[in-house]
Amino acid sequence: MDRGFALLWRVTAATLLVVAFWQSFPIFQAVVLGRLAEPRAITPRGDLADWEQSTIAVFEAARDSVVFITTAETVIDPWTRNIYDLTRGNGSGFIWDTLGHVVTNHHVIAGASRAFVRLADGRSYPARLVGSAPEHDLAVLQIGVGADRPPPIPIGTSADLRVGQSVLAIGNPFGLDWTLTTGVVSALGRELPTEDGLPIRDLIQTDAAINPGNSGGPLIDSAGRLIGVNTAIYSPSGSSAGVGFAVPVDTVNRVVPQLIARGSYTPPFLGVHFDPRGDELLDRLGLEGVLVLDVVPGSPAEAAGLRPTRMTREGIVLGDIILALGDDAVRRSQDLVAALETRRAGETVDLTILRDGREITLQAALAAAP
């Protein structure tokens, strides 16, 4: 019995030693052979995929047209009365033309007393504010670039965008300069409210990551053309949640030339006076549309034959009620403002109006704002 137990113990101990050695062998092997370690052989990867090459080419072509914007606010120390600049924030922008104009968001430069633009090659310039359109969250700066000016970004269109097509966003999120993110057009025709209550309409929604610092940077299509200006994100945390918004390039291409030429943006001039109180009056009458309170003499509205509201001995005689401008339905004053925003001076539009209980159509040639 004792001999059998001793034999079993020896067999068990030998088995445990073998198992322990087997388990420890890789460690001993790594220690011994690790002293002879050399760099591993590189596995050839082959050519980049076509979509990778396309993305790289678009980024490299657009990079020099994108800029880094920093802003500062001049403050006075209440104790020492010393005046100094306090860094306010940063954002993105892009070169618009060969005259040194830079497009960015209005909210990037709002409240700042100074702005600086840094180019992709490292050169930095103080910027002058040319004009701003808060209602579209757009602003134009100008920098004094001499020789070797960066190229303007190519311009595309946004009217023919389709949900699902690829887009690229370039900007400076969190101060990390010249960052590329990619995604698709997630939706079209989105709206965001502005400070004055009127919404920015027809925004592009994208899932390309947009974070603080991306504002004002370009949204680009796969052909390398500007299709929007990144302006806002929807995120409870303040960081990208896959829902970003961009001002469409058709709006940008309409607003920016006016900002450069005049310093401000004004929609085309129709020449009618209207007021939200007119909306309230029509509400009480169970009607929709915009009541024409007055017509400006010599205006497109007068030439089209629009009739204003007038006072008579019998009381108030309602003028024409605008129901649509072109294909855009007009239910309230803000709808008429938004419809005019999408037009250009010189464009002829159809006005659907309600007059004496009948719908009729008139034509008006919109004019430049006086």
Catalytic residue among 65, 107, 186, 333: 107
Half-sphere exposure for 254 (CA within 13 Å, toward CB):
20
Catalytic residue among 92, 132, 158, 215: 215
The verdict on whether 132 is a catalytic residue reads no
Report DSSP state, residue 35: T
Listed in order, strand segments (DSSP E) in 99-178 are: 101-104, 114-118, 124-133, 138-142, 166-171
Catalytic residue among 92, 101, 136, 137: 137
**Per-residue H/E/C for the chain:** CHHHHHHHHHHHHHHHHHHHHHHHHHHHHHHHHHCCCCCCCCCCCCCCCHHHHHHHHHHHHHHHHEEEEEEEEEEECCCCCCEEEEEEEEEEEEECCCCCEEEECHHHHCCCCEEEEECCCCCEEEEEEEEEEHHHCEEEEECCCCCCCCCCCCECCCCCCCCCCEEEEEECHHHCCCEEEEEEEEEEEEEEECCCCCEEEEEEEECCCCCCCCCCCEEEECCCCEEEEEEEECCCCCCCCCCEEEEEHHHHHHHHHHHHHHCCCCCCECCEECCHHHHHHHHHCCCCCEECCEECCCCHHHHHCCCCCEEECCEEECCCEEEEECCEECCCHHHHHHHHHCCCCCCEEEEEEEECCEEEEEEEECECCC
Q: Give Cα separations from 208 to 108, 186, 227 (angstroms).
A: 20, 9, 13
The verdict on whether 137 is a catalytic residue reads yes
DSSP β-ladder status, 358-365 and 328-329: unpaired
d(CA 111, CA 129) in angstroms, rounded, equals 12
The verdict on whether 107 is a catalytic residue reads yes
Catalytic residue numbers, as ranges: 107, 137, 215
